[in-house]
Amino acid sequence: MVAADKLSATAAASEWDDAQPYIRVNAVWKVFGRNPERVLDPQYADKDKSYFQGELGNVIGLQDVSFSVNRGETFVIMGLSGSGKSTMVRCLIRLIEPTAGEIVIAGEDITGMSDRELIAFRRNKIAMVFQHYGLMPHRSVLDNAGWGLEVQGVKKAAREARTREVLHLVGLGGWEDAYPRQLSGGMQQRVGLARALAVDTDILLMDEPFSGLDPLIRRQMQDELLRLQTELQKTIVFITHDLNEALKLGDRIAIMHDGQVAQIGSPEDIVLRPEDEYVGDFTQDVRLETVLNASKVMVTPKATVMGHQGPRAALHTIGSSDGDAAWMVDGQERYMGLLSITSAERALRAGVKRFDEAWQYVDREYQAVEPTTTFDRLIPMAMSSDWPIPVVDGGNVLVGEVHRSALAEALAETSGADQDYAANAAANAALAAEA
């Protein structure tokens, strides 16, 4: 049984008006050194970080930073060392005290909280995952992952039951009795992630959590986070210095430079429409195929057939769509496979009454993708098939389809080049996939 303040926090989150930003940061400054408030004097309004350090002896961690985060969004703050990104995430929950500005999370003014209120807020509404896992070597995986619940006062039986569920969710089922020294770096980071998920807060703050991992393990952890986010829909503020990681994970990205926000936008906005030279330099070597995804080009499915329907209905649907195939779905519109016109005709000749009793006529191995699947994966798939690519959401519900021509057109449009660019990009991606 969870504590009463935990229940009230969960209830407040469920009642939140999603039309409003869940996290709002307005004109936040963090100034280190003596008399930090003096840098806010209007006479210094046009001065930059180097001026304050050289003339006043103050180091600017954050300079007039503003942004908002929607509930359920993965908001990535990225920048090089010294850009202010880690200072910003610590200011969000006052691990570092901001010099000025406003921070409102779920309707609560963080900057105005007492120490007691702030501790309760941190325990019940926000969980953090750091680069360094912070695991206690003398505690088992189960006890490490359940530590946040223990701090909240959750009784042992309920704590362990919840923790086992979350360890299974992050792929550590069966490792409950192991100790940190027995785990790889990636597994230790999964324990840290499980600890954050176990307390079931609506907000996760993740400060370069994967940067200390080997490249392969890092990619696996990124994929794991994307999978979990599809299922859990947490509000995530993710800090990284890696642009590729930001582009892969972020719904929106804020690029920071010298304590200021240089640009905020979707991954596509950041790469295709940089607002200044700094952002342009950052993104100039990014391949478009790694940024554009299925959501940009997918269209409404032209033909769907229900499992309880038979060949005559299927052939009518396919004929009406002016195509050669239909997607097979169940009663909840979940994707079941591909039905070609040839297979439907064979089923008709065989006297099939309904396809859910004759699955051999449906290609159930035909792979679907999610809206976030990028072009570098879509292009070789499109080139190896005569059919479109089905697109499904996290619940496997069919939400769209992607056509080969749409991929080429999108690449040509966004590159500002002609169709040859798209064709070359497609060919290169296909060759890379075969290699």
Q: Is the pLDDT of residue 43 over 50?
A: yes
Q: Is the pLDDT assigned to residue 334 strictly greater than 90?
A: yes
CATH: 3.40.50.300, 3.40.50.20, 3.10.580.10, 3.30.70.2860. Which one for 295-434? 3.10.580.10
The predicted pLDDT at position 23 comes to 96
The CB density around residue 413, as the number of other CB atoms within 10 Å, is 12
**What distances in angstroms separate CA 407 from CA 94, 376, 432, one per listed residue?**
45, 10, 17
The residue among 38, 85, 43, 41 whose CA lies nearest residue 61 is 85
Q: Tell me the fold of 4-19+72-86+115-286.
A: Rossmann fold (3.40.50)
Task: Give 50: exposed, middle or buried? Use CB within 10 Å, 0-12, 13-18, 19+.
Answer: exposed
pLDDT digits (tens, 9 = 90+) for 393-409: 888 999 999 999 999 88
According to the model, what pLDDT value does residue 256 have? 95
- Structure letter (DSSP) for residue 366: P
List, for residues 181-235, the tens digit of each pLDDT value.
898 888 888 888 888 888 888 899 998 888 877 888 888 888 888 888 888 889 9
Domain boundaries, the chain: 4-19+72-86+115-286, 295-434
Mean pLDDT of 51-55: 86
| Average of per-residue pLDDT across 166-187 | 88
What's the pLDDT tens digit per position in 75-97? 999 999 889 999 999 999 999 99
Burial class (CB in 10 A: 0-12, 13-18, 19+), 220: middle
- Helix 215-232 vs helix 185-198: angle between axes, to the nearest 10 degrees? 20
Please give the pLDDT value at position 53: 86
- What single string gives the DSSP state of each residue in 252-266? EEEEEETTEEEEEE-
Integer Rg of the chain from CA: 25
Q: pLDDT of 367-392, one tens digit each?
A: 999 998 999 999 999 999 999 999 99
For residue range 236-269, list pLDDT tens digits in order: 999 999 999 999 999 999 999 999 999 999 998 8
Task: Quickly state the pLDDT bin for 287 (edges 50, 70, 90).
Answer: confident
Token pair 């052939």 is at which residue?
315
pLDDT confidence of residue 185: 82
- 433 burial level (CB within 10 Å; 0-12, 13-18, 19+): middle
